């Protein structure tokens, strides 16, 4: 049984922090590793409130260079330095990200003894590990903005011990090879293939992160069959014209896109400070999608 991925939404506000909403940042914790998507003002404080250990942070993905998505980055990097970090940290984002960090490092008269590895992202797979990959696509905002999708690799189906015994496979290392997807040769010369003893393969989990965007085909691509979709819901249903003018989406558009993409759960986030009652974002969404969640700061979801 795979360990659940934890998604902790550290900041759910748009543009302006409020007493109840920080600006954009979301942590994904899986198998002891933490990934961070965006790093708005106060992110390191939110990490503390959530009980997350910054030392487990391996990669940070920045969508774009508007301040509410990146202005907390230098503070976090400097705290990691003060904590004695030595292992590398990988930063992914638009071309200006490296310039921002390097110039800020010089102007703030600071430095980092741990390696910071910059990745200037392009559409497609930008991070490829043995356990997951991260896909990037351009979104439709007022400046160059990217969305991301974390896709776990699929796992072999359930091993049928009874069937393996019927085929004469002796318990031990050969079981392991079959479970890893390799055919095995028995002492009598017969070959047993993984498909002979394994059930249907298990699809890896998918989390999509599409903030600061008008509805667009690229967002649908990232959200396709996602187990969890975090999507721009700056304004409530009925405010589509204003949202478009500002390069954003409404909760109605978020729900429509999630349904189109087949996303299993939709999280409405990047919420305007005008909404004292964020549940207003749910108005008018009846029947559009079966699983809609209005985000709040420090909300944790399991995938």
pLDDT at 201: 84
pLDDT at 2: 65
Q: Where are the domains of the chain?
A: 6-155+202-295, 161-197
Rounded distance between C-alpha atoms, residue 233 and residue 237, angstroms: 9
Rounded distance between C-alpha atoms, residue 192 and residue 209, angstroms: 42
As a CATH number, domain 6-155+202-295 is 3.60.15.10
pLDDT at 1: 54
pLDDT at 3: 85
pLDDT at 278: 85
53-83: burial string, b at 16+ Cβ within 10 Å, e else: ebeebbbbbbbbbbebbbbbbbebbbebeee
Q: 38, 68, 212, 232: which is the annotated catalytic residue?
A: 68
pLDDT at 200: 86
- Give the SS3 label for residue 219: helix
Write out the chain's pLDDT in tens, 303 residues. Answer: 568 899 999 999 999 999 999 999 999 999 989 999 999 999 999 999 999 999 999 999 999 999 999 999 999 999 999 999 999 999 999 999 999 999 999 999 999 999 999 999 999 999 999 999 999 999 999 999 999 999 999 888 899 999 999 999 999 999 999 988 899 999 999 999 999 999 888 899 999 999 999 999 999 999 999 999 999 999 999 999 999 999 999 999 999 999 999 999 999 999 999 998 888 999 999 999 999 999 999 999 999
Residue 285 tokens, joined:
């969404």
Q: Is 68 a catalytic residue?
A: yes
């Amino acid at each position: 049984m795979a360990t659940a991925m934890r998604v902790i939404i550290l900041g759910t506000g748009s543009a302006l922090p409020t007493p109840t909403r920080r600006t954009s940042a979301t942590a994904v914790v899986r198998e002891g590793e933490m990934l961070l998507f965006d790093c708005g003002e106060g992110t390191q404080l939110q990490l503390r409130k959530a009980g997350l250990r910054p030392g487990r942070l391996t990669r940070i993905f920045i969508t774009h260079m508007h301040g509410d998505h990146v202005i907390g980055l230098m503070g976090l990097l400097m705290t990691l330095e003060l904590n004695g970090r030595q292992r590398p940290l990988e930063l992914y984002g638009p071309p200006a990200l490296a310039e921002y960090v390097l110039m800020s490092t010089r102007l703030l008269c600071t430095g980092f003894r741990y390696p910071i590895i910059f990745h200037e992202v392009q559409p497609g797979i930008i991070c490829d590990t043995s356990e997951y990959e991260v896909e990037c696509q351009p979104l439709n905002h007022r400046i160059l903005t990217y969305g991301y999708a974390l896709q776990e690799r699929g796992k072999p189906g359930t091993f049928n011990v009874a069937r393996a015994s019927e085929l004469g496979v002796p318990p031990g290392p050969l079981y392991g090879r079959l479970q890893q997807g390799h055919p095995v040769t028995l002492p009598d010369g017969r070959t047993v293939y993984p498909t002979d003893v394994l059930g249907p393969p298990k699809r890896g989990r998918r989390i999509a992160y599409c903030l600061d965007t008008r509805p667009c085909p690229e967002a649908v691509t990232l959200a396709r069959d996602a187990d969890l979709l975090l999507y721009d819901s700056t304004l409530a249903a009925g405010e589509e014209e204003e949202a478009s003018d500002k390069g954003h989406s409404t909760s109605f558009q978020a729900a429509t896109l999630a349904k189109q993409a087949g996303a299993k759960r939709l999280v409405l986030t990047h919420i305007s400070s005008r909404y004292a009652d964020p549940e207003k974002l749910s108005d008018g969404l009846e029947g559009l999608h079966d699983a809609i969640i209005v985000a709040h700061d420090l909300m944790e979801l399991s995938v």
